[in-house]
Structure 1
Amino acid sequence: MKIALLGYGKMGQVIERIALERGHEIVLKKDENNTFDGLSNADVAIDFSVPTAAVSNISSCFHANVPVISGTTGWLEHYDEMAALCAAKNGGFISSSNFSLGVNIFFELNEYLAKIMSKFDNYTVAMEEIHHTQKLDAPSGTAISLAKGVIENSLYTNWTLEKPEANHPSDSELAKQIHIEAKRIGTVPGTHTVTYNSVVDAIEIKHTAHNREGFALGAVIAAEWIVGKQGIFTMKDVLNLK
């Protein structure tokens, strides 16, 4: 399989190594210093760039009839635009806040737990995410995905970085929002914690990434899966979790 790497930072370099180990070929390493020359030769593109480059990278793939895997976060206000372009060009597209296989299993656990906890109004939910100091967006895309998983299965309506007024349910609008605490510490690859707290106990689920390998491997597996397919998919499709 011929892969175009859109974004050749630390993640792009790990993806390159894993892709080569799995027998694939890299035909383009795109960063701010070069062009899209070679993109049309690719079977698939993997985008781990920056928020300001993501839309240009993704749209270029659709115009070149190359399916694209995007792990860049912080650009999702343009998601509907990219989804429409994908449909117009009969492209293939997977965008995920996190391609780690473990995190996607964690997403499923989070949704299942949210369904159970929605029956018990004496618990409030909060989230914490910790990443390296070079991460540009806060909260992380993974934390937002976790929050959406709770919102879709509970009475919570939104997420917020604002700290709650109290540690118990109330009628205030803030109480209907999930507080996400975003921390930037050293070189932490990514730690996400979801906690349900009451006056008598707490229930907590947590995912800790030890390195970037899991993100990169999942992206390459998604790239292998999408070749030859048309449409917009998720990691649930890739991992057969639906």
Structure 2
Amino acid sequence: IYKESDMRICLLGYGRMGHEVERVALSRGHEIVAKIDSEWDTLPSCDAVIEFTRPGVAYENITKCIKQGAPIVSGTTGWLEQWDKAVECVKQHDGTFFYASNFSIGVYLFRLINVYMAKLMNHYPNYLPSVEETHHIHKLDYPSGTALTIANEMIEHLDAKSEVLAYLEPNKAPSHSDDQLLIASIRKDSIPGTHVVKYESKEDVLTLSHEAKGREGLALGAVLAAEFVVGKKGIYGMEDLIQLD
């Protein structure tokens, strides 16, 4: 949709996602100029950086790229307590930063439906909402960034809920107050990612779910984001990439 031909892309993180991003980028005619999977100081010349690393190093990777003038697309989750500092860095250095907790177009559409559903269900407090996310055993953080985004967007429209409380199964659900929205996190096998929203009453259950079949959709979204940010300045997200009007 936004394709810029022959982009020169640097990959930060060369794990499962990095490999899939490389495959998709090459299939779209781009060049991978570097694959960095360890500590680094200076980026090679490139049109954009795509970063899928670890929560503990994501903020440093992002700000180093911004300070060196490289547009960066990041999908690493678990570091958002430092979000405000990253935003300030972008402003100070007139940088370019695209962030998404999930680059899947299907997940973005799921989020839009989820928000609409929350608005409807706010009128029916007898339905108790909950969120469940399931990922492969190699995922380090919980809840998933996508689950946290989903839950926070629900809270914006549910008067009875004001904060999120996550727990990792097989632990039992923790004791919680009525205004807390529970997220159950499950780590199992090699599941790419499944997110489920439930509203349960005594009479029935309403369920909204998204199940990823693999990493290709995430990788494609990240490459589309890299194509999108060429020539732009500022902070962007999936709502900028996907034009629904």
User: What TM-score do the two structures reach when normalised by structure 1?
Assistant: 0.93
Partner of 1:168: none
1:2-59 CA-partner distances (Å, limit 9, x unpaired): 1110101010000001000000011111111x6354x241111111001111112101
Which of residues 67, 77, 80 is equivalent to 2:71?
67
1:141-175 CA-partner distances (Å, limit 9, x unpaired): 1100000110111121011125376xxxxxxx611
Which of residues 25, 29, 35 is equivalent to 2:40?
35
Which of residues 184, 204, 208 is equivalent to 1:205?
208
Partner of 2:8: 2
1:49-71 CA-partner distances (Å, limit 9, x unpaired): 01111112101111111111110
Amino acid at match of 1:226: V
Distance in 1, matches of 2:50 and 2:118, equals 32
Partner of 2:130: 126
Cα 1:241/1:80, change in 2 over 3 Å: farther
Partner of 1:161: 166
Please tell me whether the aligned partners of residues 33 and 44 of structure 2 are also in contact (alpha carbons under 8 angstroms).
no
2:52 corresponds to 1:48: yes
Amino acid at match of 2:29: G
Percent pairwise identity: 45
Distance in 2, matches of 1:174 and 1:159, equals 10
SS in 1 for 2:143: coil
Amino acid at match of 1:7: G
Partner of 1:87: 91
Distance in 2, matches of 1:233 and 1:50, equals 21
Cα 1:241/1:84, change in 2 over 3 Å: farther
Distance in 1, matches of 2:244 and 2:199, equals 25
Q: Mapping of 1:185-196 within 5 angstroms?
A: 185-196=188-199
Q: Mapping of 1:97-136 within 5 angstroms?
A: 97-136=101-140
Distance in 2, matches of 1:85 and 1:184, equals 34
Amino acid at match of 1:216: A
Partner of 1:170: none
Distance in 2, matches of 1:150 and 1:241, equals 21
The two structures, once aligned, show a CA RMSD in angstroms of 1.4
What are structure 1's unaligned runs of at least 5 residues? Answer: 166-172
Cα 1:3/1:36, change in 2 over 3 Å: farther
Which of residues 212, 216, 241 is equivalent to 1:238?
241
Distance in 2, matches of 1:40 and 1:227, equals 17
1:119-141 CA-partner distances (Å, limit 9, x unpaired): 11111100110000010001111
Please tell me whether the aligned partners of residues 30 and 36 of structure 1 are also in contact (alpha carbons under 8 angstroms).
no
Aligned structure 1 segments of 4 or more residues deviating by more than 4 angstroms: none
Please tell me whether the aligned partners of residues 198 and 206 of structure 2 are also in contact (alpha carbons under 8 angstroms).
yes
Distance in 2, matches of 1:29 and 1:215, equals 18
Amino acid at match of 2:87: A
User: What TM-score do the two structures reach when normalised by structure 2?
Assistant: 0.92
